[in-house]
Structure 1
Amino acid sequence: MGLQWMMLTCVVAVESAIAVLLTLPWPRPLKSRLVALVSLSLQPAVSILPFAGFHLLDIHWKNEHRQMCTAEVCTHEELLHYEKSVFKAQRNVLLCVLSCLLYWCICCICKYQKEVRELEEAEKRRKNQ
């Protein structure tokens, strides 16, 4: 399971890097090629959504079936282990939500850039006529 979380962490890192690259002020030819490249990779990258959704369901199920550990019942070591597992679950929920949110942001940025390019082309055509 740790490998899957490491993979999700890498996906979030790559998605955030792509989002930053898309929002930087590049020259128009470079920006249009970058948007085209990212747009081509969006369809295969949509598989991150069910992957993250499955893991969110897994975290929810584990949280519902986790044994509670209170100071009266558990030893200090068991309490630390319980708190560590809760923190890991919270981190993993954050990773899942971030992966979905960043994917959506990248889609919106690409769509916006394409619309801007189309409007600029339409404006050039009207000026030439």
Structure 2
Amino acid sequence: MALQWMILSYVVALEAVVAILVTLPSPKLLRNRLTSLISLVLQPALFIIPFAGFQLLDIYWKNEHRLMCTSDVCTAAERDRYEKAIYKSQRNVILCISACILYWCIYRVCKFQKDIQSMEEVEKRYKSK
């Protein structure tokens, strides 16, 4: 299970870097090339959405079937382990949601850039007529 979370955390970090690159102001030529390159990579990278969804379902299932440690019979070590598992689950939920949100943000920014580029081309054609 740790490998899945490691992969997801690397993907989220990569998505954050790509989101920063796409939103930084840059020359038009560089921005257009970067946008087209990222747009080509976005479709294969769509696997992250169902992967994160599956991980969320796994977290939910484990949370529903987790043994509760709320009574006085629990030892301090058991209580600490229970709380650590809860914090870990919360961190993983945030990781899954941020993966989906970052993917959507990158997709929308690239789509807006392509729309702006196509509008500029239409404007050039109208001006040349």
Give the TM-score band, short-chain normalised. over 0.9
Structure 2 partner of 1:88? 88
Distance in 2 (alpha carbons) for counterparts of 1:73 and 1:110: 55
Structure 2 partner of 1:16? 16
Distance in 2 (alpha carbons) for counterparts of 1:124 and 1:95: 43
SS state at 2:43 partner? helix
Structure 2 partner of 1:5? 5
Aligned-pair RMSD on alpha carbons?
0.8
SS state at 1:46 partner? helix
- Are the counterparts in 2 of residues 18 and 106 from structure 1 also a CA contact under 8 Å? yes
Calculate the TM-score normalised by the size of structure 1. 0.97
Matched letter for residue 89 of structure 1: S
For the pair 1:42 / 2:42, whether they are aligned, the reply is yes
Distance in 2 (alpha carbons) for counterparts of 1:71 and 1:116: 60
Map Cα deviations across residues 69-117 of structure 1 (whole Å, 9 max, x no partner).
1151211111010000000000000111110111111110010000001
* Runs of 4+ displaced beyond 2 Å: none
Structure 1 partner of 2:68? 68
* Gap runs ≥5 in structure 1: none
Distance in 1 (alpha carbons) for counterparts of 2:41 and 2:19: 13
Q: How many residues align?
A: 129
Calculate the TM-score normalised by the size of structure 2. 0.97
